[in-house]
Structure 1
C-alpha cells in the first residue's frame, strides 16, 4: 500500500497559508471533501428528521449514514453510536446517568494519565453519589500506565474504570484490552477516552473490550462534535434524564435536541477521506480504513522517528514521551528556557507547536511540570518531512539565540 503525502496535502486548503502544523492533538486542519460535504448539506433542503419531504429525508439519511460510517471507523455497532456536542459533554452526560446505578460503598477508578474530561466528570459524579474515587497512577519516568497499575486499585466494589487509550499529553498507549479483562473480571464497566487514539490508528472497540468508547471527529480531519460508541444492550439498560416528548429509542435516547446535521455530514466525509488515504486500498469501507490507516500510521511513525533523532542532538531538550507504545506526540521541556518563549519564537516563523498542559492537568503534575506542562509536538496525516525540518531548524535557532 502507498501513502502519497503530496497528494494528501493538496486536499487541505489551510496548508496554503504556509504554517507547519504540529497542533494536531488539539484539532486537525480540514480537507476539501469535508468542507464540501458540510456545504452540500446546508445547500440542500434540511429539516427535522422524517420521510415526507426532501429536507426530512436528507436529515434522516445524514444521521443514518454517519452512524454507519462511525461504526465502520470504530469497529462498532451503528445502533450504539451516540452523537454529542463534545467528548467532554458525553462524559458528563454518561457519568450522571451511570451515577444513578451507584450506591454508597461503590468505587470508580480514574487515572493520573488522562485528560481532565475523563477524570473530573467521574470524580464529580462520585462525590455527588457519595461513593469512593480511586486513582490509578502511571510511571513518570517511563510514561507507562500498565494493567497492573489498574489492577492495584480494583476491588469487588468497583463499578466503573475510566481510562485513556492514548494520552493527549505524552502519547502513551496503555494496554486497553488487558485492562478491559481485569475490569470485567471485577464486574465493572470500562469507559475509554479514545479522542487522541482514534486520530492515529484503527480502532476496534470489540477487541479493546470497551463498554463505552468516545472520540472527537475534529481530531481526525472532521468537524467539531463528539461521538460515543456503546454496546447497544448496555445502552438499553440506562435511563438518562431527557425531555418527555423525546424518543426513548437507543441511541437517540442519549442525544439531546436537534443534531448538527451539517457536521454529521462532514464527519461521514472525514471517515471516507481516511479510507481513501491509500489510493490502492480495496474492499469494504472497514477494510479500506484498515489498509489506509496502517500506511498513515507508518508515515507518522517515520516522521516521529525523524523528530526524535533531531531532538536527541539538543542537550537542553527533555522529551517526556517515552512509553514503548505511543502515538506520534511528543512533550518537550527545555532546560533554562521557557517553552512559552519557544512556542512564540516558532509561531513567528510559521511553525505551530503549542505549549501547555492541554487539560491533562494530573499527568502534567505527575511529570513534575506543574500546571505549566511543556511544548507539544503532534503529527497529523498531512505533515511531511519538510515540516519536521522546519521544526528542528526553528528549535535549533531558538536555542542558539537564547544561548
Structure 2
C-alpha cells in the first residue's frame, strides 16, 4: 500500500508549529481524532461502570471498546488487557505481585539494554524477596543482544526474564521469539517492555512468546496511558494487592481505582487512527467500525515501517557524509531511532543548536541509564534522533542541514 505522510501530518495539529520533530521516542504528537475522542467522552454523561443509567453505560462501553482496540493492537485477548497510569506503574505493580512467590535462591534476569522501567522494578522486587538479580549484557560495538547473552544469564532457579522489545536509546530489536523459547525452556516467565517497539511495528503477544507485555499509548499517537497485556488464564493465577470491596475479576483486579475513561476512549481512537492508515478489505469503509482492525493494523505498520526505514536510511547516508559524528545505533534489526555523539563536542550543545533552527532532537540517556553506561557514554548519553509515522523527507533535510551547520560552526575540543 502507498503511504501518504502528508495526509497523516494534516491530521496532527501540533505539527503546524513548523518544527521538524525527532523527539517521538519520548512521546508522539496527537492526531485530531484522538483529541476529539477525549472531548466527546467528557461531553457526555459518565459514571462508575454499570447498566442502570446513561453515564454507567457510557463508561462500560468505553472500557470494553478500549480493551478490544488494545487487544487488536497487541494481538491479545481483551480479557488480558490491563490499564494503568503508565507502563512503569504497571511493571512495578506486576513485579510486586510476582515477587510474592519468590525467595532466597530464586533468580530474576534483567538486561543492560533496557529502559530503567524494565530494570529497577524487578531489581527492587527481587531484593525485597531475597532473590538474586542476574544481568543480560549486550555488545556495545554492534548494539546486539544475542541468544548467547541470554543463555549466559539463565540458571536453574530463574523465575523471570525481562527484556525490551526495542531499545529506546539505540533502537536494537532483540529476537524475542527465540529469547522466549530459551526463557520458557528454563521454566521462567518472560516480560517484554514493548513501549518503544509498539510505536514502530506490529506486535502479537503469543507470536513474541511474551507472558507479559507493556506499552504506552502516548508513544503511538495516543494519550498518556499504560497498557499491560497477558493471557487471562495467567492473570487468574496472580493476586495483586487491592482494595477489599473492589472486584476480583480479571483484568479488573489489577486496575486500581476508577479508570480514566477519557484516556481510554482516546487510546481506542489512536488505534483506530493507525488502522485507518490501511484500506479495509474490499474497499469497505472503516469509519467507526472494528471489523478487520487487527489485519488493517498489520498492514498499516508494514507501511509505517517501510516509510520510517526509508527515512532512517536517508539520515544514515547523510550522517556518513559528515565528519565528527558517531552513530551508536548499529544492530541489524532496529527501529528508526539513532543515538549520536560528537567526539570533542557536546550532544547537549548540539541539541540546543538544532532547537534554535527548528529541529527538535533531545540529548540525554532517556532513562536507559544502564545502556548508556555500557556504551561508554556515562549518564550523559547522546543526541537521539527518533522518526515517527509523521516524519517527512523535509524534516530529514532540515535535520541534516542543522547538524552540518553545528559541526561547521562549533569547534571540537580536546
TM normalised by structure 2 equals 0.96
- Cα distance in 1 for residues equivalent to 2:39 and 2:80: 27
Tell me if structure 2 keeps the 8 A contact 1:67–1:78. Answer: yes
Name the counterpart of 1:255.
Answer: 255
1:379 counterpart (380, 383, 387): 387
Classify the secondary structure of the residue corresponding to 1:33: helix
- Cα distance in 2 for residues equivalent to 1:40 and 1:142: 47
Moved runs in structure 1, 4+ residues, more than 2 A? 278-283
2:369 counterpart (361, 365, 368): 361
Name the counterpart of 2:192.
Answer: 192
Query: Structure 2 unaligned runs (5+)?
Result: 283-290
Name the counterpart of 2:287.
Answer: none
Matched, 1:72 2:72: yes
1:342 counterpart (334, 344, 350): 350
Matched, 1:315 2:316: no
Matched, 1:168 2:168: yes
CA deviation after TM superposition for structure 1 residue 281, in Å: 5.9
CA deviation after TM superposition for structure 1 residue 289, in Å: 0.6
Name the counterpart of 2:341.
Answer: 333
Matched, 1:389 2:391: no
Name the counterpart of 1:59.
Answer: 59
Name the counterpart of 2:108.
Answer: 108
- Cα distance in 2 for residues equivalent to 1:206 and 1:2: 29
CA deviation after TM superposition for structure 1 residue 278, in Å: 2.8
Matched, 1:123 2:123: yes
TM normalised by structure 1 equals 0.99
- Cα distance in 1 for residues equivalent to 2:106 and 2:27: 36
Show the 5 A alignment for 1:244-323. 244-279=244-279, 284-323=292-331
Tell me if structure 1 keeps the 8 A contact 2:112–2:371. Answer: yes
Tell me if structure 2 keeps the 8 A contact 1:73–1:202. Answer: yes
Name the counterpart of 2:240.
Answer: 240
- Aligned length, in residue pairs: 403
For the aligned residue pairs, the C-alpha RMSD in angstroms reads 0.8
- Cα distance in 2 for residues equivalent to 1:281 and 1:347: 43
Tell me if structure 2 keeps the 8 A contact 1:2–1:280. Answer: no
Name the counterpart of 2:87.
Answer: 87
Matched, 1:230 2:230: yes
- Cα distance in 2 for residues equivalent to 1:266 and 1:242: 26
- Cα distance in 1 for residues equivalent to 2:73 and 2:38: 19
Classify the secondary structure of the residue corresponding to 1:152: helix
- Cα distance in 2 for residues equivalent to 1:54 and 1:146: 53
Q: Deviation string for 1:305-360 (max 9, x for gaps)?
A: 00000000112000000000000000000111101111011111111000000000
Q: Deviation string for 1:19-67 (max 9, x for gaps)?
A: 1110000000000010000110001111111111111111100000110
- Cα distance in 2 for residues equivalent to 1:292 and 1:173: 19
- Cα distance in 2 for residues equivalent to 1:23 and 1:183: 33
